[in-house]
Amino acid sequence: MKETVDIISAHDRAVASGKKMALATVVHVEGSAYRRPGARMLITEDGELTGAISGGCLEGDALQKALSVIMQSKSRLVTYDTSDEDDARMGLGLGCEGIIQVLLETIIEGQLNPIELLRIASASNLPAILVTIYNMNDRRAEQVGTKLLVNRQNEMSGDTEIYETELAIAVGAAFEEERSLHVQVIMNDTAMDTLIQFLPPVQSLVVIGAGNDVMPLVDIANVLGWDVQVLDGRPAYASKERFATACSVIVSAADRILEHVEFNQRSAVVLMTHNYEYDKAVLDQLLKLTIGYIGVLGPAKKLERMLMDLKAHHPVTHPNLYGPVGIDIGAETAEEIALSIIAEIKAVFANKKPIHLREKEGQIHGEKMKAF
């Protein structure tokens, strides 16, 4: 989501400067590639790039082709075969052994263009589906492009006329599985390839505690583009001056946390005040809620003691309770512990078990994108 925010910001700067733009989107991948379908890069007419469609090997060529797209005001589908020796000689050899389809779209102001659809998705912070239609069988044909946004509440923005039964079923399946899909739809008697991209909401992180060891946790989460809130009962600690990169900093008594924060299945909460009674009072409230991740800093005995103290209120522990918080990377410093915590939160919400990638069988990115 941070990449999307950066692209929107770059777009707005370009509009203010009167620059023309094109958007490059990875729409299909066969085999291995550095970026997966849905990766985007904004290109301005003077060569400014925001976002990425590869590890840096495709960007130069994509820039040249995007400049042609901007001049002609006509979208184009480009194929990069990273297993082809000719591509390697051109300087495009990624060693990924994949075939990457990149859609280059002109950005026309005054229309509900792809950037505006991304803006709507980002602002709503609801799970959404972005629909991009292209034609791999006939690259010279009109490439329809990114035309429709549908959120979890079935609110639509863009070209709603394309939202027919076949596409609606695929969108419903993408929401159900919370993953992107490929599907072919018939438009004007022509089979068109379609990327149905699942856009999860921004990851929410609530940190209970405002000590010095919280600072690197907030900073790393900010780099990732997460929505971060810091809460503590001590005004001298919980201040915006100390946590400039947090979205909000709140002073609150332990028993009034729920007045300030809305928790849901996408929320991650980390308790790290180093105050046993404060953490326990907060945990007492959190155990009653549906929350995707609750982490408790400190030794296992601390959490066991808390749960024993709260046993009368909570005979069953929370399914998403993690304590001691973090994954084992040999962390010692506050910065290393923060990295450990962030990695565990990311793994939990991605439904992944942390392992060395060299021990992973098959592709790094897991299952291929499903063809519906």
Report pLDDT digits (tens) over 157-187.
999 988 888 899 999 999 999 899 999 888 8
Contact 184, 28 (CB under 8 A): no
Whole-number pLDDT of residue 365: 60
192 and 208: one domain? no
**Stated pTM of the model:** 0.83
Domain boundary among 199, 225, 259: 199
Tell me the range of 123-137, 232-246, 357-371 where mean pLDDT is highest: 232-246
Residue 23: DSSP 8-state: E
Q: Establish if 166 belongs to a structural domain.
A: yes
The boundaries of the domain holding residue 224 are 204-349
Residues 289 and 185 in one domain: no
Query: For 268-290, what is each residue's pLDDT tens digit?
Result: 999 999 999 999 999 999 999 99
What CATH number did the domain enclosing 309 receive? 3.40.50.720
Burial (CB count <10 Å: 0-12, 13-18, 19+), residue 93: middle
Flag whether 213 is in a domain.
yes
In a domain, 260, yes or no: yes
**Whether residues 132 and 273 fall in one domain:** no
User: What pLDDT, on a 0 to 100 scale, did the predictor assign at position 361?
Assistant: 74
Shared domain for 111 and 173, answered yes or no, is yes
Residue 326: predicted pLDDT: 97
pLDDT averaged over the chain? 90
Tell me, yes or no, whether 247 lies in a domain: yes
Q: pLDDT band for position 91 (50/70/90)? A: very low
What's the mean pLDDT in 91-114?
79
Torsion of CA 318, 319, 321, 322, to 10 degrees: 150
The answer, yes or no, to whether residue 311 has pLDDT greater than 50, is: yes
Instruction: Judge whether 354 lies within some domain.
Output: no
Alpha helix (H) residue ranges in the chain = 2-16, 59-72, 85-87, 114-124, 165-177, 214-223, 276-286, 300-309, 334-349
Mean pLDDT of 109-113: 85
Among residues of the chain, what percentage have pLDDT more than 90? 68
Residues 148, 268, single domain; the answer is no
Q: How far is CA 190 from the centre of its chain?
A: 32
- Res 363 pLDDT > 70: no
pLDDT at 188: 78
Tokens of 317: 């522990």
Q: Are residues 287 and 139 in the same domain?
A: no
Task: Kindly state whether residue 162 falls inside one of the protein's structural domains.
Answer: yes
Query: Same structural domain for residues 95 and 116?
Result: yes
pLDDT digits (tens, 9 = 90+) for 180-235: 999 988 887 888 899 999 999 899 999 999 999 999 999 999 999 999 999 999 99
Are 217 and 113 within one domain? Answer: no
Residue 90: pLDDT band (50, 70, 90) is very low
Among 166, 199, 232, the domain boundary falls at 199
* Cβ atoms of 25 and 40 closer than 8 Å: yes
**pLDDT band, residue 323 (cuts 50/70/90):** very high
Last residue of a domain, one of 174, 199, 224: 199
Q: How many domains are there within the chain?
A: 2
Q: How many degrees, rounded to 5, is the angle at CA 58 between CA 56 and CA 64?
A: 120
- Same domain, yes or no: 26 and 78: yes
Tell me what pLDDT residue 96 has.
Answer: 58
Q: Return the beta strands (E) in 66-208 as ranges.
A: 76-81, 98-107, 128-134, 145-151, 156-158, 181-187, 190-199, 204-208
Residues 167 and 301 in one domain: no
CA torsion sign for 221, 223, 224, 225 is: positive
Please give the pLDDT value at position 140: 77
Q: Are residues 209 and 309 in the same domain?
A: yes
Q: Are residues 333 and 209 part of one domain?
A: yes
